[in-house]
Amino acid sequence: MPIDESVRQAILGAVPSLRAFAISLCGSVDRADDLVQETLVRALANIDSFQPGTNMAAWLFTILRNHFRSEYRKRRREVEDNDGHYAETLKSQPEQHGRVEFTEFRAALAKLPTDQREALILVGASGFSYEEAAHICGCAVGTIKSRVNRARTRLAELMAIDGAEDFGPDQATRAVLVGNDRN
């Protein structure tokens, strides 16, 4: 199909953020890039359903998120894969997931339930409003707010517990700040 230049620019403009979202969701750069590619193919095949003037990024995020969810459900049926296993994979292959300094943080993020993780990323990193995030995830605004709150609380617990040999405010703060490098 011929791609309108403004549509093309809007899509390409959203790709960097789509990739960051996809990597945060699935934990692997390779899988994330496949996910983004599948999203773009789907988006262009259904470009008629995009309303010009509305937020292209939000539309693409919705497609990617729904596609990831259906793939994830399929994979769970095929292989028993729990969040713990996923977290271990992340820890053992840090070079595949970007800079080492984020390894600890990614591992903690990976331990969150998927619905909390996606809500936190959409609001806390992608810069969507609660309303936009609710639209992307197909749920109520209140649901997004409570998922984000639970995600933040759990993440703080995970980072603090993970980094603090001697539990205390300084260690907890330090752990959140820099992670730790014990093996």
Partner 1 sequence: MSDQKPGRQKPMEAATRNKKAPVKLSREIQARLGQQLRAMYDDVVEQGVPDRFTELLNRLDENGNKGKP
Name the site residues for partner 1 (rule: CB under 8 A): 1-3, 8, 11-12, 15-17, 19-21, 23-24, 33, 36-37, 40-41, 44, 98-99, 102, 105-106, 109, 120-121, 124-126, 152, 155-156, 159-160, 169, 172-173, 176-177
- Asked if residues 3 and 44 have their Cβ atoms less than 8 Å apart, the reply is yes
Taking the least distance from each CB to partner 1, the nearer of 87 and 121 is 121
CB of 159 to partner 1, least distance (A): 7
CB of 20 to partner 1, least distance (A): 4
Taking the least distance from each CB to partner 1, the nearer of 25 and 134 is 25
Crossing angle (nearest 10°) for helices 114-124 and 130-137 = 140
SS3 for 112?
coil
Taking the least distance from each CB to partner 1, the nearer of 76 and 153 is 153
Give CB contacts under 8 A, 24+ apart, made by 48-51: 50/7
Taking the least distance from each CB to partner 1, the nearer of 77 and 102 is 102
CA separation (Å) from 53 to 7, 10, 18, 46, 153? Answer: 10, 11, 19, 16, 36
